[in-house]
Amino acid sequence: MLYQFYEAQRAMLSPFAEFASATAKLYSHPLSPFAQGPGAQRMAAGYDLMHRLTKEYEKPEFGITGISVDGTEIAVQQLTALAKPFCRLLRFKRYTDDARMLEKMRAQPTVLVVAPLSGHHSTLLRDTVRTLLKDHKVYITDWIDARMVPLEAGAFHLDDYVRYVQEFIRHVGGDVNVISVCQPTVPVLAAISLMASAGETTPRTMVMMGGPIDARRSPTAVNNLATNKSHSWFENNVIYRVPQNFPGAGRRVYPGFLQHTGFVAMNPDRHVTSHYDYFLDLVRGDDDSADAHRTFYDEYNAVLDLPAEYYLDTIKTVFQDYALVNGTWTVAGKPVRPQDITSTALLTVEGELDDISGAGQTHAAHDLCAGIPQSRQQRYDVVGAGHYGIFSGRRWREHAYPQIRDFIVQHQQAPQPRRAAVKTTTAAPAGKKAAAPRKRALAKA
């Protein structure tokens, strides 16, 4: 009933949000007689803030239509490369009339960004994508709000997430470089591990950023919540059915509004201060600061529902059983063995001040991927960066991105070793010549 109550409340507040928006304009429009009084600016600011606190936030658009590279303007078109019931694989295709630049772009490496399915939309990685486009062909996973997926599409488990990632890698091609941000580091490592165990061609590189590979290390508030509550507690207290006014009516989900409440509860003082500063910016007429606030919260407040099966699987597998690091995780009956990865280079990135994935949680991937030569492994810590700072903002662009770009280039030209399917329970001895992999067709985007 909680979801239905929330929807009823949202419907009730919707007219008030529109009224607040209209009143804010009434007190701020230069031609309005109400905008001439001494307190008009404060009234406009107050109603504008009220509008933003009560409005509904829809999924934002990426809005990337062009970039500038070395003084050359490059047009960008967003395309759907592959559509699945719970996710779209998007491609950002670049166009230019400059023959020299076109030839350069054709030779650039391909990147598949696996966005988190953990509450926010993939557009949270807009800055990540825009920066990557300067030197790469870019694909990204665009996860679909579970409340918009009809029941006929079936359930979506963590195992399905792993299979989706594998299908996307195969679709893009064997020379792809995979970047996983936060939550997907675990299923991405599982997907590539299973491909390696089966003798498939694995990606050139895998870059893992701020994810809970080993959630036992430096546990954060997120980790503590998952470990202090039982699996049945989560199922009984945060899982609800989608109301009738959505295509996914009846589907069991972890609602976006509950996730958003949790996000805000982690740093309530920071959000209160941010909203008050926004009010003061409007009163002072500081449009740049006010626009920055709107841009951030338009993204931050837009959330999506998670399929219940996937969410509960993640809680149990990643945060309670630590199945990946304990070597007990199986997908469709096949063991997940990161030590079978030998030909994919590994870079892990952590933020010094990350309060979601603690220190060492992502770097733990190096201990698991024992089959990757040390010369093909690298770690990087972004000094002064929190969780969002490693993939968005100045520290991402000036510190994290150059490391990732150079790492991909370093391992793009080197011959990629190939391996046969692993038939034993131990990794193949170092230096042993691998048999030729089986042939298979790869769909090219």
Q: What is the pLDDT of residue 265?
A: 83
Q: What is the widest separation between alpha-carbon atoms in the chain?
A: 83
Given a cut of 80, whether residue 420 has pLDDT beyond it is: no
Please return the burial class of 90, using the count of CB atoms within 10 Å of its CB with bins 0-12, 13-18 and 19+.
buried
Residues 66-73, mean pLDDT to the nearest whole number: 92
Give dist(CA 204, CA 408) in Å, integer: 8
Given a cut of 70, whether residue 45 has pLDDT beyond it is: yes
Residues 99-109, mean pLDDT to the nearest whole number: 93
CATH superfamily to which 74-233+307-412 belongs: Alpha/Beta hydrolase fold, catalytic domain (3.40.50.1820)
Give dist(CA 342, CA 430) in Å, integer: 9
435 against 418, higher pLDDT: 418
Given a cut of 90, whether residue 151 has pLDDT beyond it is: yes
Residues sharing a CB contact under 8 Å with residue 374, sequence separation 6 or more, in sequence order: none
Give dist(CA 44, CA 66) in Å, integer: 35
DSSP result, 243-291: PTTSTTTT-EEE-HHHHHHHHHHHSHHHHHHHHHHHHHHHHHT-HHHHH
Q: What is the pLDDT of residue 101?
A: 94
- Residue 371's Cβ-side half-sphere holds a number of Cα atoms within 13 Å equal to 21
189 vs 211, 305, 381, 432, CA distance in Å? 11, 24, 20, 23
Given a cut of 50, whether residue 421 has pLDDT beyond it is: no
Given a cut of 60, whether residue 252 has pLDDT beyond it is: yes
Give dist(CA 129, CA 138) in Å, integer: 7
Strands of the sheet with 240-241, listed across from one edge: 240-241, 252-254, 306-307
Given a cut of 60, whether residue 214 has pLDDT beyond it is: yes
Q: What is the pLDDT of residue 414?
A: 55
Given a cut of 60, whether residue 6 has pLDDT beyond it is: yes
Please return the burial class of 384, using the count of CB atoms within 10 Å of its CB with bins 0-12, 13-18 and 19+.
exposed
Residues 350-377, mean pLDDT to the nearest whole number: 96
The pTM for the full model equals 0.88
51 vs 22, 97, 106, CA distance in Å? 9, 44, 46
Q: What is the pLDDT of residue 416?
A: 55
Confidence grade of residue 78 (pLDDT, cut at 50, 70, 90): very high
Confidence grade of residue 415 (pLDDT, cut at 50, 70, 90): low
Domain boundaries, the chain: 2-55+256-304, 74-233+307-412
Confidence grade of residue 71 (pLDDT, cut at 50, 70, 90): confident
pLDDT digits (tens, 9 = 90+) for 126-142: 999 999 999 999 999 99
Give dist(CA 12, CA 224) in Å, integer: 36
Confidence grade of residue 266 (pLDDT, cut at 50, 70, 90): confident
Q: What is the mean pLDDT of the chain?
A: 90
Given a cut of 90, whether residue 334 has pLDDT beyond it is: yes
Q: Which of 250, 225, 245 is nearest to 237 (CA)?
A: 225
Given a cut of 60, whether residue 56 has pLDDT beyond it is: yes
Given a cut of 80, whether residue 92 has pLDDT beyond it is: yes
Contact 91, 81 (CB under 8 A): yes
Three-state DSSP class for 74?
strand
Given a cut of 80, whether residue 435 has pLDDT beyond it is: no
Residues 275-279, mean pLDDT to the nearest whole number: 95
Give dist(CA 215, CA 315) in Å, integer: 11
Confidence grade of residue 124 (pLDDT, cut at 50, 70, 90): very high
Residues 21-49, mean pLDDT to the nearest whole number: 91
